A and B are shown apart, each in its own frame.
Chain A
């Protein structure tokens, strides 16, 4: 077929791609395991927060992935899809995968934040600026996914989703600032939050860093797998195109036969 179709010619994944995914997956699993071990057993509990502080190894990490990594990736990929020179269904599938995995991490952020908040603030959900922004981002993500479920040709669906992602991407900073001005409980933007986090030192710092790395690797692995699924889904659809073209053209042939008969 013509090169206009951004269609993989076969569903077989390259050797390199398969092994990259596997290695990342294994590394992610190992890193997570080590983080868990360090986080739960090796590092000491905090004076004020006790064992609750162990959430610091998870919550900022998933938040970083959901709010920044996944979201930025989806936004940039969508922009690249919309830009005519770089238009390729690769970016669309990447964006969709990023959003889907991002939803998972987003929910984990909200849950871990909520679990952390309950003993600290006394409520399951304090209308804290950052958690609220995260919740709005979750809703925007879900809207994106809902729109993608509407049956359509891949290019049409990709364009539509990309626009939604673009609008959401533009909106998120505005939402962030409005919610921030509206209510501020999270002081500052880092883990060095006087309310939630004490000084991080020694083994805690390393575990924290490892946690970030581990969660990023988990995200990347899930992203690759989800992307691959997207490729397979699309390939199932397009393999039929050549067949459809031939059948369509055959309509003409058989009709001529009828007329000639």
Chain B
């Protein structure tokens, strides 16, 4: 649970290109997320937000470029990385034939985490009483999401990668989620949230990066009171970008810094 020593970023991507067949999911991403930061990844559908998270989780290997997650190579040292990273994806990875309790226990133990926090996590997410003994096949989408969140909470990994976490949750669950993210941030956990429901997540994150066309095309600070918005894009949106052209490398934002955050063109 102890975070990495400050010099190492939690996530470091440089000119990352990831392919699915011939289709470039990521077309040259530069990103750095410091330990303990909460970052929002925003962008339109199909921009590559999910792929970005999956690369950080070590599920998708890079075709070129560099990726370092928690100081480790997510492909070569994948098992170590995966045990310290929690990815909340669209699917909940539940086994239909097992009950909620069995699913949570299996998922937590498979990830090599202690089982002590399971009880508390399940309670927090309203998975109690009869619901615990219900087989996963009978759950609604929102309930499945809650189970996945309970697993994440019980595991309490160092890096959280949340893909549209608010989708399918009702109002009280959303509140619980927001609280949870806040607690995680306070505990020094690095959280990366991909979402386009900006209204919910803006208050949670310290900064946001914009992903379009498989690259980071902009960023802005989200800290309270700062009206600054970084200049978006490398070429200001004029024409198609060229391969190999350096992209913004946005460093972490010091929350106390109230000056404008301007993107540096490398």
Q: Do A and B bind each other?
A: yes
Q: Is the CB of B64 within 8 A of A251?
A: no
A240 beta carbon closer than 8 Å to chain B: yes
Contact A255 B21, beta carbon cutoff 8 Å: no
Interface flag for B3 (CB, 8 Å): no
Interface of B is mostly: loop
How many chain B residues touch A (Cβ–Cβ < 8 Å)?
30
Whole-angstrom CA separation of A244 from B214 in the bound complex: 11
**Interface residues in A, total, Cβ within 8 A:** 27
Q: Binary interface profile of B, 227-240, with partner A (CB < 8 Å = 1, else 0)?
A: 00000110111111
Residues on A with C-beta less than 8 A from B143 are: none
Report the minimum CB–CB distance from B27 to chain A (whole Å).
5
Check B243–A253 contact: CB distance below 8 A: no
| Complex: A260 Cα to B215 Cα, angstroms | 18
Nearest chain B residue, comparing its CB with the CB of A250? B240
- Tell me which residues across on chain B come within 8 A of A242, comparing CB atoms: 243
B26 to chain A, nearest CB (A): 9
Is B233 touching A4 in the complex (CB atoms < 8 A)? no
Let me know if A48 is at the binding interface, CB within 8 A: no
Q: Does A26 contact B (CB under 8 A)?
A: no
Separation of A152 and B20 alpha carbons in the complex (Å): 9
Given contacts A251-B213, A255-B44, A260 and B243 within 8 Å (CB-CB): no
Q: A244-B24, A260-B237 are in contact. Are A252 and B217 (CB under 8 A)?
A: yes
- How close is A209's CB to chain B, nearest CB, in angstroms? 48
Given the known A-B contacts A237-B22, A255-B212, A260-B236, are A249 and B64 also in contact in the complex, defined by CB atoms under 8 Å? no
B98 on interface, CB distance cutoff 8 Å: no
Instruction: List chain A residues, Cβ under 8 A from B236.
Output: 256, 260
Asked if B213 and A248 make an inter-chain contact with CB atoms under 8 angstroms apart, the answer reads yes
Besides A240-B22, A249-B213, A249-B215, 19 other CB < 8 A contacts? A2-B64, A5-B63, A153-B20, A241-B19, A241-B22, A241-B24, A245-B27, A246-B243, A248-B23, A248-B213, A249-B240, A252-B214, A252-B217, A253-B235, A255-B44, A255-B212, A256-B217, A256-B237, A259-B237
How would residues 197 to 209 of chain B score, 1 for a CB under 8 Å from any chain A CB and 0 otherwise?
A: 0000000000000
User: Considering only CB atoms, which chain B residue lies closest to A241 in the complex?
Assistant: B22
Give which listed residue, A4, A240, A255, contacts B213 with CB less than 8 A. A255
Residue contact A153 to B63, C-beta cutoff 8 Å? no
Q: Within the complex, which residue of B27, B63, B237 is in contact with A249, where a contact is CB–CB below 8 Å?
A: B27
Question: Is A47 interfacial (CB-CB < 8 Å)?
Answer: no
B219 touches A (CB below 8 Å): no
Are B237 and A253 in contact, CB atoms less than 8 angstroms apart? yes
